[in-house]
Structure 1
Amino acid sequence: MALSHIEADITRGQWAEPDAGKVQFGEYAAVWLEDRKLAGRTRERHESVVRLHLVPTFGTRPLSSITTAQVRAWRTSRLAAGVGEPTVVKAYQIFRAILNTAVDDELIRRNPCRVKGADSYDVPERPVLTVAEVYGVAGAIAARYRLLVLLTAFTGLRFGELASLRRRDIDTTKAALTVRRSQAEMQTGKLLDKAPKSDAGVRPVAFPSELMPDVERHLAHFAGPGQDGHVFLGPQGGQLRRSNFRDDWIKARTEAGVTAPVHFHDLRHTGNTLAASGASLRELMTRMGHSTPRAALIYQHMVNGRDREIADRLGAMIRTTRGEVDS
């Protein structure tokens, strides 16, 4: 009878080596991570998630013994323990990816990560600053960070993209800059430049010509020397880190009267929201450096001339707001 069942499974393509699923999850996860082609910072995050959130529960369990009920209970316990939902979602996504590979390797027949809704969460709406508030914070922050605030708000660039920016990446004749790389900080504190996540990340981005006086002033007083000098540096002349100016940011935000708990990254959200007015989905995707429309769709909405038009519209907002402030 047992032989008949085996023969039937083989015919249906469902037979598996009995000992295959006895491989422990922790051992398999380690090999899975080793085989993945991941950027340095991404690898650190994946390894940290596996070590802190998956191995303690599933590390010694055979792959074939993990059930959907256990996955559901694990997720519930992580959330009940106070682990942030974004972290739990990321852990679940990695867990599912590991076990998908185990299915492909024919170690298990079915992936037990089948918990509905466990792979996503509702992102809370982030605050958007007005142009006046942006200039308020820029005026209150240390002079070496003023342009960092303005460019983030009016180009929508990421912190890492601005931190890795060099003098030669800024074209003052066309009021534009070119994103070629992005800075990443490892858990050890080491800084490294990495290629953007996709080809779309390498891109020219126009900025409002109204920022030109700030750009020229910054390059004259705060940027590193030579064409390969970093545009933004820390207070002691070293490479810019988030920790270099976090306290400055919070202090400036408070002095500017911005009561909402605005994070520095919200300036990018602000910039993309402002730029979305009149921009097509493709144009916004190009400006943001995304290869898919998912993120750009959040704002409901490059070609060279149109990107300049977007920057000019932002410039008009600046002129209007600063006129109101000056009056």
Structure 2
Amino acid sequence: MTMPSWLKDTSSRASIGASSWRSVMPDSVPRRTVIGSVRERYQKRLHTLPHGSTVLANANADARKGEQMEPDWATLASPHRAVTATTLAEFYELNRALTEDGLVSNAVAAYRRAWRLRLDPSLGSVPLIDLDPLTIARARALWDGKPSTKQDALALLSKVLDLAVLANLIPTNAARSLPRSRHKAEDADPVARALSDRQVARMLELTSFHPFGQRALAGLTFTGLRLGELTGLRWEDLDEERGIITVRRTFSPNGHGKLEARATKSGRIRSVPIIEDLRPWLDAAREAGFPFVFTGVRGGPLDSGNLARAVKWFALRDRIVTFSDGRPLRFHDLRHTYLTRLARLGIPPAQLQRIAGHASITTTELYTRSSSIEAALAVKQTVDRLSREVTLGGGESAANNGFTRDSSW
């Protein structure tokens, strides 16, 4: 950066400050006079720079605390330093409304928790210009919570730094070049969370005491929609002649205990097929006479809380299935069930992505890979079949496959 003229005439280097003046000026010149002149000139310049008033106030506060005899006025008043001395916390407070613009209430709440519990304590006091990937990675390593909550914090940080780039306060967004975390996603193997046909039948049988709740569970299983999307379906969204459902909206919490209709998670309208397994449930829902397809008893929208209470989910779910990872069955696993079923039928990933509403094909491809459970069952089936072919005398089939009675692993 070219040194401005107002610094050239006071020092040969931009970094010189009041403390340096004390050592380089001749004893015959009163130091108080020199320092006062430098202070006055630099303070005047600070008031003309972005965030200069904040820098000046902080410097004077440090001096009053006795942390330094006199602030380093030349360094503080350089245009580069005055702009970039803004901390992450200061910039966030100025632009918080922009980071939350367009978000649903639960996303806003997640961002605010991420700031309060993780970003502010670890990085809030760091100047924007000092936020390099290593600094952020060190902070992330100290954050507690699940990988998803840490990802919320990183997403918010990236939004804030994007705005700082837009404001020309920093050259690049350091969060975008952050090394990948080694934490595994909770649903890294969603196929392993899918229910079998027998387990789906058991779930619907156990919840038959509540027809509205049972119908919602069937809808989740046979459409693959998210719960908010399912409860947002109106009858005009169904083209039963062509067998198409148009997903236009989702119900999300508004932060005040109510559900509001909003755009879908991806922000796009999409279509899903009406499969034959779904039709009986649609016929039963039509008899209820409500404008929305899947509702509560009184026609209101369902959320995870009132649906769980209606079908006694927490008491019943372990009777439906238990998973080896120790995590109980969730409503979202019914979406995994539907998408896994389509993948097993050979639906191409590009089509599956459109039906699921995934923003990234990488997410969709998780359903096209064999889960660890499927792989184990396939190996077991092959070994059991070959083992049955082994006879007391060995047999041609067993010999050809390398198996005899003396075979060992």
How much has 1:119 moved relative to structure 2? Answer: 9.2
> Which residue is equivalent to 2:318?
254
Give the 3 Å change call, closer, same or farther, for CA 72–209 of structure 1 in structure 2.
Answer: closer
Q: Which whole-Å CA distance do the structure 1 matches of 2:262 and 2:80 have between them?
A: 42
Give the 3 Å change call, closer, same or farther, for CA 96–198 of structure 1 in structure 2.
Answer: closer
> Which residue is equivalent to 1:38?
102
Does structure 1 retain, via aligned residues, the 8 Å contact 2:249–2:261?
yes
How much has 1:182 moved relative to structure 2? Answer: 1.0
Does structure 1 retain, via aligned residues, the 8 Å contact 2:221–2:337?
yes
Could you report, residue by residue, the CA deviation over 1:2-44 in whole angstroms, capped at 9, with x for unpaired residues?
A: 85877xxxxxxxx962211222322211333322442333334
Does structure 2 retain, via aligned residues, the 8 Å contact 1:53–1:91?
yes
Could you report, residue by residue, the CA deviation over 1:240-275 in whole angstroms, capped at 9, with x for unpaired residues?
A: 12110224233342344x223211101101100101
> Which residue is equivalent to 1:193?
261
How much has 1:213 moved relative to structure 2? Answer: 2.1
Give the 3 Å change call, closer, same or farther, for CA 239–211 of structure 1 in structure 2.
Answer: closer
> Which residue is equivalent to 2:26?
none
1:231 aligns with 2:305: no
Q: Which whole-Å CA distance do the structure 2 matches of 1:298 and 1:102 have between them?
A: 35
Q: Which whole-Å CA distance do the structure 2 matches of 1:286 and 1:72 have between them?
A: 34
Give the 3 Å change call, closer, same or farther, for CA 211–105 of structure 1 in structure 2.
Answer: closer
Quote the RMSD (CA, aligned, Å). 2.9
1:47 aligns with 2:115: no
> Which residue is equivalent to 1:125?
189
How much has 1:173 moved relative to structure 2? Answer: 3.6
Does structure 2 retain, via aligned residues, the 8 Å contact 1:162–1:232?
yes
**Greater C-alpha radius of gyration:** 2
**TM-score, length-scaled by structure 2:** 0.61
Q: Which whole-Å CA distance do the structure 2 matches of 1:263 and 1:212 have between them?
A: 24
- Structure 2 residue corresponding to 1:72, chosen from 137, 141, 148: 137
Give the 3 Å change call, closer, same or farther, for CA 25–145 of structure 1 in structure 2.
Answer: same
Does structure 2 retain, via aligned residues, the 8 Å contact 1:44–1:186?
no
Could you report, residue by residue, the CA deviation over 1:155-182 in whole angstroms, capped at 9, with x for unpaired residues?
A: 2111111011112223344443221111
Q: Which whole-Å CA distance do the structure 1 matches of 2:13 and 2:265 have between them?
A: 48
How much has 1:204 moved relative to structure 2? Answer: 2.6
Q: Which whole-Å CA distance do the structure 2 matches of 1:284 and 1:67 have between them?
A: 38
1:209 aligns with 2:272: no
Does structure 2 retain, via aligned residues, the 8 Å contact 1:285–1:296?
yes
- Structure 2 residue corresponding to 1:58, chosen from 120, 123, 136: 123
Question: How many residue pairs align between the two structures?
Answer: 283
Paired-residue identity, %:
26
> Which residue is equivalent to 1:264?
331
How much has 1:96 moved relative to structure 2? Answer: 3.1
Paired residue secondary structure (1:205):
strand
How much has 1:198 moved relative to structure 2? Answer: 4.2
Instruction: Specify the code of the residue in structure 2 equivalent to 1:135.
Output: A
Q: Which whole-Å CA distance do the structure 2 matches of 1:217 and 1:270 have between them?
A: 22
Looking at both structures, which has the greater relative contact order when contacts are Cα pairs under 8 Å and sequence separation is at least 6? Answer: 1
> Which residue is equivalent to 1:181?
249
Q: Which whole-Å CA distance do the structure 2 matches of 1:120 and 1:194 have between them?
A: 31
Q: Which whole-Å CA distance do the structure 1 matches of 2:109 and 2:256 have between them?
A: 10
Q: Which whole-Å CA distance do the structure 2 matches of 1:67 and 1:55 have between them?
A: 16
Paired residue secondary structure (1:209):
coil
Paired residue secondary structure (1:18):
helix
How much has 1:46 moved relative to structure 2? Answer: 2.4
> Which residue is equivalent to 1:148?
216
